[in-house]
Amino acid sequence: MKRLYMIGGPMGVGKTAACRQLQQLLDRSVFLDGDWCWDAHPFQVTEETREMVLENIAFLL
């Protein structure tokens, strides 16, 4: 059975650090960091870019 853990919270609380620790503790695990989906220059959130990011994340999952 596959499990999906979603970790959320404000910036700087240790989400990435906690996920990296979980990745080491859980056998056959994958860490998908959604932050890279928003890494664009220039950074502009529009309805179009928001939809693109959500589609890309859903595709990865």
For position 21, what pLDDT does the model report? 94
pLDDT of the residue at 18: 94
CA torsion sign for 30, 8, 36, 50 is: positive
The pLDDT score that the predictor gives to residue 53 is 83
List, as one string, the DSSP characters of the chain.
---------STTSSHHHHHHHHHHHSTT-----GGGGG--SS----HHHHHHHHHHHHHH-
Q: What is the pLDDT along the chain (61 residues), one digit of tens a residue?
A: 788 888 989 989 999 999 999 999 998 888 888 777 777 778 788 998 888 888 888 887 7
